[in-house]
Structures are given as structure tokens and as C-alpha cells.
Amino acid sequence: MSACKNKCTVNKCQQIFGWVPVIFILLIVGWSYYAYVYSLCIVQVTSVVAKVFFLIFFHLFLSLFLWSYIKAIVVPPIQPPKQFHLTSSEWEAIHTTADKETNQNTVLGAIVAERNLPVYLSGPDGKIRVCNTCALIKPDRSHHCSTCGVCLLKMDHHCPWTNNCIGFHNHKYFIVFLSWGVIYCFFIICTSASYFADFWRYPDALSVDRFQVLFLFIVAAMFGLCQLGLSSYHMYLVGINLSTLETFHYPRLRGGQPDKTLFNLGIKENFRETFGSRFEMAVLPIFTTPGDGVNWRFRLDHSLQSANLESGSTNSPMLSTAKLS
């Protein structure tokens, strides 16, 4: 009983402290609003045209940044459909087999075939992937998040800055949030650079507002560079159609070898897999990711043709003849 209470207490503490990074980011953004709008635009910018230009684009980029950030935070993970969950009798059959190495996979293979599940990937051991916590057969590209305590479709990683898992449900929102964050920070840097220089050029005319602009420039540069690095890395992963977790263990077909190009459909199709086909919608935090997070297109090449597709599903995996770009 005490162990259960301790576990509940720990979970509650994790839930509370999980919001600390989010609150920190929102406080920084709130302060940046004051420093930019009041300390810079109202107090120091003398040109009316410059003030209007600065304020219009500042609010535009800030709105898009916050919209994307909030969507990445509040959209809940999409969990595997019910047909992937194992019944109590199936779970018992899997764990009471004498030869666990062989029979477990045989039982799982029979379940996959009976339910016609689109499961073509295996774990590092070559077996069908199962989540012992959620008691289900993992759909391709899905993983269990120990922080959230659930399995989610195409899990990328758990992000402390959003206090949420990044996966099929919000991967686009996360990347768009990073991208607009870069634009927001570098807009601040570019428009406050001359006033930042004035701080050092005229040391005798110091004021609280000039210090605000000084720190605004420095903080924007720090966050802008960090977000630029993260955004570039995740854009690279989108370009090769891999999740962050898949870079640690490349996906492998059942009976095949790890293959980092298994989902690589070419850079154009790879970006469509995350952002959709319409550019004007791709840059907005609106869900345009095609598919259902369960069925995935595979690259048709030598590694796929030579792999042993023993899914048992009556449907063949969706193959693409797209060439690498």
C-alpha cells in the first residue's frame, strides 16, 4: 500500500514539475513582448514608419509561434487502435509458452494474421514488437513513452519543453513551432541590432529600457540559435523520413536487417508525409499530415525485396518506387 502511495506521489510530482519548462518558456515570451513593444518600439524607435513595421511583423510572428507552440502542447497523443490490443487470454497464451523465443512470436504472428494487422517491422531481436505495459502489439513506427505511460503512433520523442510526446499527432506542430520560433527570434535580433549597438556606443546614456533591449537581443540570439539547430535537425529527419527514435535503432522488416532508408520515399514525398501537399497549409499549425499513423509506405528496393515479409496480413505493405533525392 505504501509503495503504491509513493508511486502515486511521484507521478503527481512529475506531472506538476513537467509544466515548469513550459511556464519558463511562456514567461520568457511574455517578457520579450514587454521588452520589444514598450522598451524598444515605444521608447527608443523614433520613426513612426519603423514602429508600425516592427509592431505588425512582431505580432504576426509571435502569433504564429504561440499558436504552433500551444498546439504542440495541448494535442494529446494518438494511441494504437483497439485491434492492436491483446485480450487477457491472448496475453496469457503469449506468456505461458514453454519456448518463449519461438512460440511467443508464433502466437503473435497468428494474431497478426487473424486480425489482418499491418505489422511488418520487428524489434532488434527480429520478433514482433509487443508493449508489456500496454499489453498490445505495437503498430509499425510506434513506441511506448515511459513518461506519458502510453504507446503512441510514430513516436519521435518526449519533449520537456512541450510537456508532451511528439508523434504522429503533433509532429508537424512541433516542427512548425520550432521554425516560427527561429523566425521570431531572428526578427527580434535584426530589428534590435542597431539599438543593441547603441548601448555600447553611448555608455553615458544608459536607462532601464536600454538594458531591457540589451538582454532582449542576447536572449533572442541564444534561443534563436538553439531553435535553429533543433529545427534544422528535425527538418533533416523529415527529409530522410526517420523519427528521432529510429535514428538510434534503424527500422527493420521482419526477417530483414536494419535499414535507415526503409521509409525514404525521396525528399519531396518525405516532406509530404509530414506536412501534406499544400505549401500554404504546411507552414500553419493545422493538421495536414496524411495517413492514419498505422499504415506506412515502404521503399521498394533490394533490401525490401530480399526481406521476408511474414506479416500474415492479406494486405501487402504499401510500396513506393520513389528514388532517393
pLDDT tens per residue, the chain (325 residues)? Answer: 454 555 556 567 777 889 999 999 999 999 999 999 999 999 999 999 999 999 999 999 999 999 999 999 999 989 999 999 999 999 888 877 655 656 788 889 999 999 999 999 999 888 999 999 999 999 999 999 999 999 999 999 999 999 999 999 999 999 999 999 999 999 999 999 999 998 888 887 778 999 999 999 999 999 999 999 999 999 999 999 999 999 999 999 988 899 999 999 999 999 999 999 998 999 999 999 999 999 999 987 644 444 445 544 545 566 665 555 4
- Give the residue numbers marked as catalytic: 159
CB neighbour class for 51 (10 Å; exposed up to 12, middle 13-18, buried from 19): middle
Q: Which amino acid, one-letter code, is at 260?
A: K
pTM: 0.88
Instruction: Give the start-to-end residue ranges of the domains of the chain.
Output: 40-75+170-240, 82-169+243-320
* φ, ψ (nearest 5 deg) of residue 151: -90, 145
Q: Comparing C-alpha atoms, which of 151, 153, 149 is closest to residue 170?
A: 153
